[in-house]
């Protein structure tokens, strides 16, 4: 048995070598790693001031901001106990259940459209069928992914859920991204159906499609239109006020000289 297995290699006898002597390789290793870390940090600091480094930094910030705002990565990373992970699992289960119902509805609509006879009242052009095909593909893939998530994650205990949520790197990045795949498929499927319906309706009533489409876009973005209109109006008002002040000062100065 070794007296100090930490400072002594296994399989070698204890010859009474002082601990400080045995610790020299460890200290040398730690010192080398520290120097490497300092050099890497200095190189990263110099790199960050270059245009390429600035672009990479901005891209990383955008990626992590989008990841935390559009997925459950922030909640998973900040979870401290089983209760926090349980809330994440319940939320994901509700999301997958609702998205699965939406995907089934989109698939049913796609099947109905594909069953329309060419001699129907509404003439469907070839490019409209491409939208239906896109919706059908994304609906099928989304249903498959939803079934996989519902069978793998909600019905296990919380510790198994935590283990399965970690990727091969020990983080929650890839699970957070993959858990949003059904929602992404729902978005693509519904957008493709919207494109199909818009193309068919445009062939029948182009002006109505344009007017209603613009009205809906304005209604959805109304707060931003008001906000930027207010900013522009304030900017124009300030600029006009400053121009009027400078004009008046110049006029008064000219009058005094006369």
Dihedral angle, C-alpha 200, 203, 205, 208, nearest 10 °: 60
Pick the closest to residue 105 from 17, 28, 189 (CA basis).
189
Q: Residues near 2 by Cβ (< 8 Å), separated by ≥ 6? A: 8, 10, 14
Pick the closest to residue 84 from 155, 161, 156, 146 (CA basis).
161
pLDDT of residue 152: 92
pLDDT of residue 236: 73
- Which residue range(s) make up the domain with 104? 80-204
249 in any annotated domain: no
List, for the chain, all residue ranges whose pLDDT scores fall below the cut of 50: 1-43, 47
246 in any annotated domain: no
Same domain, 200 and 211: no
Same domain, 226 and 132: no
pLDDT of residue 15: 44
Domain count of the fold of the chain: 2
Same domain, 184 and 223: no
216 in any annotated domain: yes
**Tens digit of each residue's pLDDT (9 = 90 or more) over 218-247:** 999 888 888 888 888 877 776 666 766 667
pTM comes to 0.66
């Amino acid at each position: 048995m070794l007296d100090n297995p930490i400072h002594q290699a296994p399989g070698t006898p204890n010859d009474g070598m002082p601990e400080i002597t045995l610790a020299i390789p460890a200290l040398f290793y730690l010192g080398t790693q520290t120097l490497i870390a300092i050099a890497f940090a200095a190189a990263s600091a110099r790199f960050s001031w270059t245009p390429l480094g600035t672009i990479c930094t901005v891209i990383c910030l955008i990626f992590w901001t989008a990841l935390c705002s559009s997925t459950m990565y922030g909640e998973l990373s900040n979870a401290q106990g089983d209760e926090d992970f349980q809330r994440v699992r319940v939320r994901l289960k509700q999301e997958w259940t609702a998205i699965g119902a939406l995907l089934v509805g989109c698939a049913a609509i796609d099947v109905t459209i594909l069953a329309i006879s060419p001699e129907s009242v509404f003439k469907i052009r070839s490019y409209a069928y491409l939208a239906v095909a896109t919706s059908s593909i994304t609906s099928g893939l989304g249903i498959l992914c939803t079934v996989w998530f519902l069978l793998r994650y909600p019905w296990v205990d919380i510790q198994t859920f935590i283990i399965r949520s970690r990727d091969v790197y020990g983080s929650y990045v890839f699970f957070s991204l993959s858990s949003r795949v059904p929602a992404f498929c729902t978005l693509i499927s519904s957008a493709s159906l919207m494109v199909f319906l818009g193309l068919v309706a445009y062939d029948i009533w182009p002006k109505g499609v344009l007017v209603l489409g613009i009205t809906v876009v304005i209604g959805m973005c109304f707060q931003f239109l008001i906000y930027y209109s207010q900013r522009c109006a304030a900017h124009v008002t300030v600029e006009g006020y400053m121009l009027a002040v400078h004009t008046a000062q110049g006029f008064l100065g000219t009058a005094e000289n006369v």
